[in-house]
Chains A and B, each alone.
Chain A
Amino acid sequence: MRLNEDEEAEIAAAASVRAVTVGRFIATSAISAARGYSTATDPQDRLDRAVDELVASRAQLARVGNNLNQLTFGLHAAGYVQPAELALTLGAVRKAVAVVDDTAAQLVNGGPLGP
C-alpha cells in the first residue's frame, strides 16, 4: 500500500480518534467497503457511539442527582423537614442510573450489534 505523507497522517489521526491501531482501522474500513456499507453504519462504530451516549446520559443523571443531594443537604442545614418527594426523586435517579448501567453493560458484553 502506498500513501503520501498527508494521507498517512490523516489515516493515523482517524485511527487514533477511534482508539484503534492504524492496521486495525485499515482492516475495518476495507471490510466495510467490501461489504458495501459506510463506516457510519460500521457495527463497532455504532456500538461505541451508543455506549458513549449512555455514558453521557449517566453523567447527566449523576449531575441531577448530585444537585438533588445538595438541595437535601441545604434544606436540612436550614432546618427544614426534608420533603418526601425529594427522596423519591433521588431514588428515581438512582434507578435510572442503574438502568443506564445495565444497558451499557449488555451492549458491551453482547459484542458488536448486527448491521
Chain B
Amino acid sequence: MVPDVSRGNKTYGLLAYLYGPGRRDEHFDPHLVASWDGFAPDPGRDPNATLKQLEQALDLRVNQRGRRRLKNHVWHCPVSLDPDERLLTDEEWGEVARRVVAAAGIAEPGDPDGCRWIAVRHDPRHIHIMATIVRGDLRGARLHNDAQRAQDECREIEKELGLRQLNPGDKTAAKRPTSAEGHKAERLGRPEPMRLQLMDRVRQAVAGAADVAEFLGRLEAAGLLVRRKVGPSGDVLGYSVAHPDDRNAQDEPIFFSGSKLAPDLSLPRIRKRLSGAVGADLPGEAQVGDPGAGKARVPGSKAARARREAADAVDDATRTIEDGPDEDAAAQLVGAIEIIDVLAMRAPADTRAQLLAAARSFERASRSHVRAERADNRAVRTAARQLLSDGYAGNRGEDGGTVAMLLSALILLAIASARWHSARSHAQQAAAASAAAEQLRAAYATVAARPMAAMAAQGRSLPSPVRERQDAVIRAKLPEAQAAEHGGTDWDALAATLAEAEAAGHDPAALLEQARDRRELDTAESVTAVMVWRVRRIAKLSATPSAEPGKAGTRPKSAGPAAPAPAPRRRGRPGRS
C-alpha cells in the first residue's frame, strides 16, 4: 500500500479529475469512501450534489482567509495497492483514509478544527485523499514530513489488514522516473525512461575512474551531452548530462544533474569517492602473483588475469563486509557496484543484459546512511580499473572461465551484503542485494555452463584411483557439500580441479582447506561450484579444463587420462607451493 503525497493549487481541477472519466476512460463509479465529517456532498452518489458544492465546502476555510492565501493549498495523496493484493471494501478504504490523514497531520480524530478532506474511490485498487490545508482556526496545517509519516502509517496498516508488507525506505534511493517521463518513453517507443539509461551511463563512467576529469571525459566519450557548472574560481562544482535524442517541446536537450539521477552521483560525492587513488597504470606483468607462489605466471590473457585479481579483491571485500567495521563494509559495497558495472560494460552481449540488471539492483544496495567517506576501498576500485583497462573478454575459453570465477565471487558478495543490510534493518537494500545475487546467478549460469561441463566430463573420466582419492578429500574437507551434490556436475568438476592441482604439485587437501576458510560458504547454493573456482584461483590453474599438455585448453575434453598430465598452458608451468 503506497501513499504518494503531492500539493497543488486547484481544488476544482483535482475534483474534476477524480470524478471525471480519467485520462483513458479508466475511472469507474467515482464516489466518496470517507470525508472530514462523513457528510461531504458526494456528486458520485447523490444526484442533488454538485462538484461546485463539494469544492465550496472544501475551500470554505481557504476562502475565509481571503487574500492571505496559503501556497499550494490542495493536499493530494493517492493510496494504491499492488495488482495482486486482495481488494479492500469501501469501509476498509475509509479507515485507511482516516488513518493516513491523521498521521500526516491533516485532521486528527477529535480535533474540531482539523482540515477538510475527502477520500474518493474511482478504481478498485486505489483511493485519492484530497484535503485543503487551512484549518478551522484559519492556520495552515502542520505538515512537516507528512509524506514520510503517511508512509510509516501505511506500513502499520499493511500489517493490520494483512496486506503485503513493503520494505520501508531510508531516503537513500535513486529518484525514480516521473510518470510524465514514463508516458513520454511509451509515446516514443523507448523501452524505458531516459533517466534510467542516463543513470546507468553515469554509474558506468564513475566505475574505475581515476579522477573527475577522466569521469567527465568518459561521459562525453559515451556520446552524452555534458554541462559543467564552473565556479568563479574555475573549479568544476557540478555537472549535468543529457542524451542527445531526449528533447523537450522546444527541441532542447533535457539535462539531469548527477544528484537527480542518484544521491551518490552528485559531483561532490563522486569527487570524494575518487579521492582515494587507484592504480592508474595498467597492471604490469610482475604485479601478478602472490607470495606463496613466487613469480609464478597466471595463465590467460591480460583480461583474464584482471578478472582473477578482481575475484581476489571481491573475496577480500566479502570478508570485510562480514567482519569489518560498518564504514569499511559500506566502502566495499561502493567498490563492488563498480566491479559489476565494469563487468557489464566489458561483457559479451549474451550476458551484458543480465549483468546490467544485476548492477541496477545492486546499485540500490550500495547506498545507505552508513557512509564510507574515509574508508578504504582502493583494492576493489583498482581491480575495477584494471578490468576496465584490460579490454573486452569473450565468454569462451580462459576468458569465459575467469568471468565465471569472478561471478562466483560476486554472488557470495551480494549474499553477504544482503545479510549485512538486513542486520541493520536496511530493508530495501537487503532486498536489492538479494535480487542482485539472483541476477548474478543467472549470468553465472550462462557463463559457467560450458567450462563446468567440460570439467565435469574430465572429472568423470579420471582414472578411478585418482578419482577416489579426490572424492575422499572432498568428503573429508567439505562436510557441508551434501550427499545430494555427490555425483553432480559440480562435484565432478571439483574432483577434476583437485586432480589437476595435484598434478601441478599442490596438495589437494591443503588447497581445499585454504579455499574453504571463509564463513560465507554456508550461503552458497553449491559449495562445490564455489570451491572449483577458488581452488583454481589459489592454485593458479587455468580457468578452463586443461586439454592435451602443451595445447591451449579452450576445447572441452571428452575423455582421456588428463589428471596425471602436467599442468597446461602455453606460457609455462604454474609454480609449486
Contact = CB atoms under 8 A, between A and B. Distances in A.
Contact of B60 (A62, A69, A104): A104
A26 interface: no
A47 B39 CA distance: 24
Contacts of A105: 56-57, 60, 63
Contacts of A93: 39
Interface stretch (A34-42, A79-87, A94-102): A94-102
Interface stretch (B3-11, B136-144, B172-180, B296-304): B136-144
A97 B137 CA distance: 21
A65 B38 contact: yes
Interface in B49-94: 49, 53, 56-57, 60, 63-64, 66
Interface string A41-57: 00000001001100110
B110 to A, nearest CB: 12
A94 B56 contact: no
A12 interface: no
B60 A51 contact: yes
B26 interface: no
A89 interface: no
Interface residues of A, number: 26
A51 B38 contact: no
SS class of chain B's interface: helix, strand, loop or mixed?
Answer: loop
Contact of B56 (A51, A69, A101): A101
Given A59-B112, A98-B48, A108 B60 contact: yes
The CB with the most chain A CB atoms within 10 A, among B37, B38, B48, B139, is that of B37
Contacts of B48: 94-95, 98
Nearest to B62: A108
The CB with the most chain B CB atoms within 10 A, among A48, A62, A108, A109, is that of A108
B300 to A, nearest CB: 77
A48 B41 contact: no
Contact of B39 (A19, A52, A97, A109): A97
A93 B39 CA distance: 9
B57 A101 contact: yes
B46 interface: yes
A10 B94 CA distance: 43
Contacts of A104: 60
A19 B48 CA distance: 35
A19 B140 CA distance: 10
Contact of A98 (B41, B63, B64, B136): B41
Contacts of A69: 38
**How large, as a class, is the contact surface on chain B?**
10 to 19
Contact of B136 (A55, A66, A94, A109): A55
B137 to A, nearest CB: 6
B140 to A, nearest CB: 10
Given A19-B139, A59-B112, A101-B56, A94 B64 contact: no
B63 A108 contact: yes
B39 A94 contact: yes
Contacts of A66: 37-39
A76 B270 CA distance: 66
A69 to B, nearest CB: 8
Interface string B387-431: 000000000000000000000000000000000000000000000
A58 B53 CA distance: 14
A98 B39 CA distance: 10
Given A19-B138, A58-B37, A101-B41, A94 B46 contact: yes
A61 interface: yes
B53 A98 contact: yes
Interface string B527-570: 00000000000000000000000000000000000000000000
Contacts of A108: 60, 63-64
Interface string B92-112: 000000000000000000001
Contacts of A95: 48
Nearest to B134: A19
B60 A55 contact: yes
Contacts of A58: 37, 39
Contacts of A97: 39, 41
A5 to B, nearest CB: 24
29 contacts: A19-B138, A19-B139, A56-B112, A58-B37, A59-B112, A62-B37, A62-B38, A62-B39, A63-B37, A66-B37, A66-B39, A93-B39, A94-B39, A94-B41, A94-B48, A95-B48, A97-B41, A98-B48, A98-B49, A98-B53, A101-B41, A101-B53, A101-B57, A102-B53, A102-B56, A105-B56, A105-B57, A108-B63, A108-B64
The 8 A-B pairs with the shortest beta carbon distances in the complex, nearest first, are A62-B37, A19-B138, A62-B39, A105-B56, A108-B63, A108-B64, A101-B57, A65-B39
Interface of B: 37-39, 41, 46, 48-49, 53, 56-57, 60, 63-64, 66, 112, 136-139
